[in-house]
Structure 1
Amino acid sequence: MKILVTGSTDGLGLAAAETLMAQGHAVVVHARNEDRAAGLAALTAQGAALVVGDLEDRDAVARIAAELNAAEPPEAVIHNAGVWSGRAVMPVNVIAPYLLTALLDGPRRHVYLSSGSHYSGHARLQGVDWTGTVAGSYGDSKLFLTAFVAALARVRPDLLAHAVDPGWVPTRMGGPDAPDDLDLGHRTQVWLATSDDPDALTSGGYWFHRARRAPHEAVHDTAFQDDLLRVLAAETGVALPAGQ
């Protein structure tokens, strides 16, 4: 299976890419820029394909999608890239995965990195700065992303969409004192992207260590989902393609 892992230069993304390659999958790794891409030399030397682009830049996201579509597109995407704070929160955590989902032709499985912080998010779309002119709320971004997963599962039943809380793990973003298990942090994403286990073939779930959990109550509010899809389509000028 060919699988794209965004934000795969370190942490959970790198661990997922390494595990997938060890399992024999064809992996596409992603780096924000050429300097970061140099850190993926060990994987590209083993045959991993590489795409480079800053997910904060919508044009770069579109270029990555076009590059992948021009080749044999991936069958699955682990939308791993994310930022904790600052102006890139909404562009990277919400806009980029939305655009990749809408623009990529091939993937039938999409796994999105959510967070337990989504429980602190606010289900309000009015006044959200999607461009990153001002700093965004991490909790809000993960709530929006988790609701997008539920919406995608509803409106695109031909796809498998999953949201995963990897735990608070000691990555560059999580910090060295994070209490959760780094090794367990990527395994649910890999399982959902590749497994034919009946549980992995469901869609719309919010997962923690291969167990489904109840998300924020707004996630399954279909009116909120519809508003979110409408806002994202209007903001980006890109609507989700109809299901097949």
Structure 2
Amino acid sequence: MARILVTGSADGLGKLAAQSLVKQGHQVVVHARNEQRAKEAMEAVPEAETCLVADLSSVAEVKKMAAEANKLGRFDSVIHNAGMGYSSSAPTWTPEGYAATFAVNSLAPYILTCLMEKPDRLIYISSGLHRSGKDNMALDKLTWKNQRWNGFQAYNDTKLQNVILANAVARRWARPYSNSVDPLWQPTKMGGSGAPGDLREGIETQVWLATSDENAVKVSGRHFRLKKETRPNSAALSEKTQDAYLKACEELSGVKFPE
């Protein structure tokens, strides 16, 4: 059985994935952004080993979470599920002055990937909306400083960045296996009750990638939907874009990507 960390597992697809994993007999560590949410996460997944608490919009808290995760011991798989939806009105700003959508959805997975002991498998939850993401790697574009806010575009951009990161990791490291997932539009709190998806399908692919012994999951730099490989936005396949993204994340977080 595998030992797996699922970020953002107090509700939504993260909670459902964690519940599915423990039901299969895997050892699971959940994550929540504060103590109240941690209590909810442990109530939802009482079989979980423990809950890591960190507000992923804070670079300092993400670094602390990575250290705490390493104290627990090495994981077989990490599912980078935590994410913020889009706000149409105005961004929430982080302590570092970044739009929280970028900090939580994109920068936090980068920091955890760099600072945590390497697992065997990394799974980054993206979205079909990544196809509308823009690949401008200028720091002010990534963080939404000094530009007019567009919450929907900001979200799409971060989902593209998730795929870029997964592919960059796959290219730079021989292991772990590093892949991204489109879970489809699901009726979660983030997706809304009108979403047409099936929640069982919404978690199936990431659970499969995290645990299966099938040869189909022993690949890297691939994008999956419904347990099948699908071609992502071509920007995510660009080595130049991948390298520029890693460099930008290093500058914004102070964390260098380990070679």
- Normalised-by-shorter TM-score class: over 0.9
Checking the alignment, whether the CA contact within 8 Å between 1:102 and 1:240 is kept in structure 2 is yes
Q: Distance in 2 between the 1:161 and 1:43 partners? A: 28
Q: How many pairs were matched up?
A: 242
1:45-124 alignment, distance < 5 Å: 45-85=46-86, 86=91, 87-124=99-136
Checking the alignment, whether the CA contact within 8 Å between 2:19 and 2:45 is kept in structure 1 is no
Distance apart, 1:131 and its partner CA: 8.0
Distance apart, 1:201 and its partner CA: 0.6
Alignment correspondent of 2:172: 155
Letter in 1 for 2:22: M
Checking the alignment, whether the CA contact within 8 Å between 1:7 and 1:80 is kept in structure 2 is yes
Alignment correspondent of 2:20: 19
Distance apart, 1:28 and its partner CA: 0.4
2:137 counterpart of 1:125: yes
Q: Distance in 1 between the 2:74 and 2:36 partners? A: 25
Distance apart, 1:55 and its partner CA: 0.5
Checking the alignment, whether the CA contact within 8 Å between 1:89 and 1:132 is kept in structure 2 is no
Q: 1:35 to 1:208 in 2, by over 3 A?
A: same
Q: 1:12 to 1:133 in 2, by over 3 A?
A: farther
Q: CA offsets, 1:58-79, max 9 Å, x none?
A: 1111111111111213221100
SS at match of 1:199: helix
Checking the alignment, whether the CA contact within 8 Å between 1:78 and 1:111 is kept in structure 2 is yes
Q: Distance in 2 between the 1:122 and 1:70 partners? A: 37
Alignment correspondent of 1:171: 188
Distance apart, 1:39 and its partner CA: 1.1
Q: Which moved more, 1:41-50 or 1:159-168?
A: 41-50
Alignment correspondent of 1:143: 160
Q: Percent identity?
A: 41
Q: Distance in 1 between the 2:44 and 2:11 partners? A: 12
Unaligned runs of 5+ in 2: 92-98
Q: 1:8 to 1:47 in 2, by over 3 A?
A: closer
Checking the alignment, whether the CA contact within 8 Å between 1:89 and 1:141 is kept in structure 2 is yes
Alignment correspondent of 2:254: 237
Unaligned runs of 5+ in 1: none
SS at match of 2:143: coil
Q: 1:168 to 1:133 in 2, by over 3 A?
A: farther
2:237 counterpart of 1:220: yes
SS at match of 2:135: coil
SS at match of 1:124: coil
2:42 counterpart of 1:41: yes
Q: Distance in 2 between the 1:100 and 1:130 partners? A: 18
Q: 1:213 to 1:49 in 2, by over 3 A?
A: same
Q: CA offsets, 1:113-148, max 9 Å, x none?
A: 100111111111123243889856111111111111
Alignment correspondent of 2:94: none
2:226 counterpart of 1:209: yes
When the two structures are superposed, what TM-score results if normalisation uses the length of structure 2?
0.89
Q: Distance in 2 between the 1:70 and 1:52 partners? A: 14
Coordinate RMSD, CA, aligned = 1.7
Q: CA offsets, 1:199-243, max 9 Å, x none?
A: 10101111101011111111111111111111111221111222x
SS at match of 2:10: coil
Q: Distance in 1 between the 2:12 and 2:48 partners? A: 20
Q: CA offsets, 1:40-62, max 9 Å, x none?
A: 23356424311111000111111
